[in-house]
Amino acid sequence: MSGDYPSGNGYRCVLPFAALPAEVPLLRKATTAQLGLWGVTTAGEAELVVTELAANVIKHVGEGASATLVLEWRCGRLRIEMHDKSDQSPVLRRADCDAECGRGLHMLAAVVANWGTVATALGKAVWCELELGGEAACRRMERATEALQNYQGYDDSMPQGPRHEALLKESAIELIADLLHWTSARGLDPDDVLDQAQMHYEAEAA
């Protein structure tokens, strides 16, 4: 059903689905779970966008229509695309109070950095972009990814998924342990180094 794989300096996940009301909460859960795997904690706005885009497919393309949700995360920005087989572009409409029927495309302009539509070979794609991180955090993520990709045990050819994430976690733990051995060998206090690193992390996360 889904494909999750590196895309340039980020990650991309493709989720085909049938445009049915019962699928909307499942898409929200899948979005939150996927962002969690990528280490992206701001999922509320993403769930809102996914709900609206899926609801528009259901209402304007038709229940049961084939559609595809694409999530693409590149340092600091999440791009959400909804692909369907209709060439009809969406229009702004009044908000709907029913959570499963969307809140209107005008809502997107209030929560996203940018959005629009593009024609595809099979129909169209409606896309939105959300800002999810600062420039400093972006540089740190890039350095951490580069370090892990060159670290022992990391296999870039392994398909994305739970096993891949478990391997990344194991590599991160081993890398931190090696750095603590390195600091201790040079007469530094590993606990003090960890405390300072935690302080830096918490200050930037805040």
Phi, psi of 159, deg, nearest 5: -60, 145
Residue 205: the pLDDT is 64
Residue 97: the pLDDT is 38
pTM of the model: 0.60
Which residues have CB under 8 Å from 202's CB, separation 6+? none
Residue 169: the pLDDT is 81
Question: How many whole angstroms separate alpha carbon 78 and alpha carbon 145?
Answer: 17
Domains of the chain: 3-133 (3.30.565.10), 136-205 (no CATH)
* 1 three-state secondary structure: coil
- The per-residue pLDDT of the chain, averaged, comes to 78
Q: Could you report the average pLDDT of every consecutive run of 10 residues in the chain (206 residues)?
A: 52 93 93 84 80 90 95 85 89 46 57 85 92 61 69 59 75 86 86 84 67
Question: How many whole angstroms separate alpha carbon 182 and alpha carbon 175?
Answer: 10
Residue 206: the pLDDT is 58
Other beta carbons less than 10 A from residue 157's beta carbon: 4
